[in-house]
Structure 1
Amino acid sequence: MITLTKLNGQEMVINAELIESVEKTPDTIVGLVTGKRFMVRETVEDVVALVMEYRRQLPPFWRKVAQNLKGQ
């Protein structure tokens, strides 16, 4: 899970494994595999760094499970 900030300043926590895309428009848009999209204050680079840090913290077994889920 990673914490992101909506444009109104409200924090939200989302499952990093559900992120499908991160777009840079004037604002950053995070798209999930569920079809939901969120505009956030963090930059694309910030979101990528948060996801990478989240994945580094996963035990090796769960990293492999997460990679397999992405391939489905």
Structure 2
Amino acid sequence: MIDVTRLNGEEFVVNALYIEKVQALPDTTITLSNGKTYFVKESRDEIIQRTVEFYQQVGLIDLQAKVVDEDVETD
């Protein structure tokens, strides 16, 4: 989960696993895989950084590297 802020100042959390698209239109827009769209104060780069940090916390980024390494070693 990542913390974000609506344009009206309300804070909430988004499950980063469901983020499909992040755009700057010029407001930052987060589109989830279920089609819901949120306009937030954070920049596109901030959302990307928070998402990467979340993936690292839950081990998704390291998991991909480990799988690739294991595939190379077994070939």
TM over 0.5: yes
What number of residue pairs does the alignment pair up? Answer: 61
2:44 match: 44
2:71 match: none
What is the TM-score with the length of structure 1 in the denominator? Answer: 0.81
The answer to whether structure 1 residue 25 and structure 2 residue 25 are counterparts is yes
How much has 1:43 moved relative to structure 2?
Answer: 0.3
- Could you tell me which runs of 5 or more consecutive residues in structure 2 were left unpaired when the two chains were aligned: 64-75
CA RMSD of aligned residues (A): 0.9
Identity %: 38
How much has 1:54 moved relative to structure 2?
Answer: 0.5
Give the 4+ runs in structure 1 shifted more than 4 A: none
* Partner Cα distance (1:58, 1:38) in 2: 23
1:3 match: 3
What is the TM-score with the length of structure 2 in the denominator? Answer: 0.78
Greater per-residue helix proportion: 2
